[in-house]
Amino acid sequence: MNDQQLLRYSRHILLDEIGIEGQERLLAARALVIGAGGLGSPAALYLAASGVGRITLVDDDEVDLTNLQRQVMHTTARVGQPKVASGREALLQINPDVEVRALRERAEGARLAELVRDADVVLDCSDNFATRHAVNRACVAAGVPLVSGAAIRFDGQLSVYDVRDPASPCYACLFPEDSRFEEVACSTMGVFAPLVGIVGAMQAAEALKLLGGFGQALAGRLLMLDGRAMEWTDIGVARHPACPVCATRP
């Protein structure tokens, strides 16, 4: 690290758990953020501020006025721009030293698999089950840890699915693809603005721990937040032996 980096990241370096070695691991790391909206905004902002070397933003949507109540990476002046372009501008304003790749696309199939293989950690900040399951399958196949968050109304949830740990479940162990989950969207059900900030910031925290090699990851636990009462519920979750996605992994 040069003198400017030592100064910029000095508050991380002061932490015994991170230090210079941990910060250097962050500077060399590659994070893939799926979704540049409510969750992706705080997650990506903290990854950039923390010095993650390369951040890839994937989203096919444009900034809309209704987004600005909670999607803090975007501004009124950037309404109508692709979210990934707006996000790239915001991240580079915070930290011009990081590399930000802005991909305006809905990554699927082989393309999604390629992006996941090229990452050290994946943050699923999407808003639908189909994308979450696709990202989970790609992470299991590539052996890349997944940090998954969700938020709707006043309810949030967060977990880490790290297939490098033989005991860690994958997303499909908890939420099987053939289950009948109600697909709800904030466009119809609403979402409490600070809730996505809380969950997205915690996704960044979990990703930084995985990349920097410090702390204990949230793998094997599901955190659920009731934003009305501001109460957390912590549930232990186990790998499903018959999971069609991860049961055959070593």
Q: pLDDT tens digits for 94-106? A: 999 999 999 999 9
Q: What's residue 178's pLDDT? A: 80
Of 40-49, 177-186, 233-242, the range with the lowest mean pLDDT is 177-186
Whole-model pTM over 0.85: yes
CB of 199 closer than 8 Å to CB of 225: yes
Q: What's residue 20's pLDDT? A: 96
Q: Pick the catalytic residue: 125, 170, 173, 186?
A: 186
Q: What's residue 189's pLDDT? A: 79
The answer to whether residue 184 scores a pLDDT higher than 70 is no
Which residues fall within 8 angstroms of residue 240, CB to CB, at 6 or more apart?
169, 172, 173, 246, 247
- Beta-strand ranges (E) seen in 120-241 are 121-124, 146-152, 155-161, 221-226, 231-236
Q: Tokens 């890839």, residue? A: 56
The answer to whether residue 250 scores a pLDDT higher than 90 is no
Mean pLDDT across the chain: 94
What is the tens place of the pLDDT at every residue in 197-245? Answer: 999 999 999 999 999 999 999 999 999 999 999 999 999 999 999 999 9
Domains of the chain, earliest start first = 27-236 (3.40.50.720)
Token pair for residue 162? 């790290």
Is-catalytic flag, 170?
A: no
Compute the average pLDDT of residues 15-42. Answer: 97
Compute the average pLDDT of residues 116-138. Answer: 96
Picking from 147, 129, 126, 150, the residue whose alpha carbon sits closest to that of residue 57 is: 126
The answer to whether residue 249 scores a pLDDT higher than 80 is no
